[in-house]
Amino acid sequence: MRNDDSLPPGLRRAVDTLREEPEVRQEWMDGVVQAAATQRLEDVASPEVRRWALRPSVAIAAGLMFAALGSGITYAVMRPAPVTTTSPVATDSSARDKAPVRFSLVAPSAVSVTLVGDFNGWNPTAVPMRRSASGDTWEVEIGLAPGRYTYAFVVDGHLARDPSAAESAHDDFGAPSSVLLVKGS
C-alpha cells in the first residue's frame, strides 16, 4: 500500500519516474547475449592474468613459509629479556675477588636439582648440583663476587626457594626465590 498523496507534487513525479522500468533497446540486448554465448573463459583470463595464478602446492608452501617467519619474529619480540642486575654493594679492588659460596638443599626424593640465579642468567643447566654421600642433600659450591644475589633451586623442573635462606623475594612474575648477600673480605 502506497501513500503518495501526502508528498508534494514535484516529489511525487520524481518517485513515479524512479518506479518506471527503463527502456532497453533490443539490439543492445541481443548483442550482450551473443557476446556472452561466444565468449570463452580463456578469452576472459588474458595471459597476463593467468601467469599470476598459483598452483595449490605453491600457495601452501608460501603460506607455511610466512607462518614460520611470523612465528620466528613473534618469538624474537616476545622472548624474555636477559636478566641483568647491578650490585648495590660498591666495588673496590677487593670486590673483584670471588668468594666460594656453598649451596645445599635437602631433597631426598628429587631426581635432579640445579641452581639458578642472577649470577648465571637464570640458566637452568648452568649449575647442576650433586647429591651428597648421604643421598638426602644436593650440594654445589661456586665463586661469587661480593654483592646481593637472587637465586632459586630447580627441583625436577620446578622452581623452589631456599628454605634455609634468611631472606626470600618474588620476581615480577611471582616466582619463588631467595636472597644471598656475599660480603667482601
Domain range list for the chain = 4-78, 93-182
157-172 confidence digits (pLDDT tens) = 988 888 888 767 666 5
Task: Return d(Cα 17, Cα 13) in angstroms, integer.
Answer: 6
Q: What mean pLDDT do residues 39-55 have? A: 58
CB 185 within 8 A of CB 144: no
Tell me the three state secondary structure of residue 23: coil
- The cell numbers describing 10, all together, are 514535484
- Calculate mean pLDDT across residues 103-121: 92
Q: What is the CATH number of domain 93-182?
A: 2.60.40.10
- Backbone φ and ψ for 86, nearest 5 degrees, come out as -115, 140
pLDDT of residue 43: 57
Q: Is the pLDDT of residue 80 over 60?
A: no
Confidence class for position 55, pLDDT limits 50, 70, 90: confident
pLDDT of the residue at 174: 66
C-alpha cell read off for 145: 663476587
Give the mean pLDDT of the chain.
Answer: 77
All three cell numbers of 54, joined, read 598459483
DSSP label of 126: T
What would the pLDDT profile of 113-151 be if each residue is shown by its tens digit?
999 998 999 899 999 999 999 889 999 999 999 988 889
Banded pLDDT at 90 (limits 50, 70, 90): very low
What's the pLDDT score for residue 93? Answer: 42
% residues pLDDT > 70 (the chain): 72
Q: Which helix (H) or strand (E) holds 149?
A: strand 147-155
- Is pTM, for the whole model, over 0.95? no
Cα dihedral sign, 35-37-38-43: positive
pLDDT computed for residue 22 by the predictor: 77
pLDDT for residue 92: 43
Name, in order, each residue with C-beta under 8 angstroms of 121's C-beta and a sequence gap of 6 or more.
82, 83
- Higher confidence at residue 140 or residue 69? 140
Output the pLDDT for position 95. 43
Q: Give the torsion through C-alpha atoms of 40, 44, 49, 53, to 10 deg.
A: -50
Within a 13 Å sphere around the CA of 38, how many CA atoms are in the beta-carbon half?
Answer: 6
d(CA 147, CA 167): 14
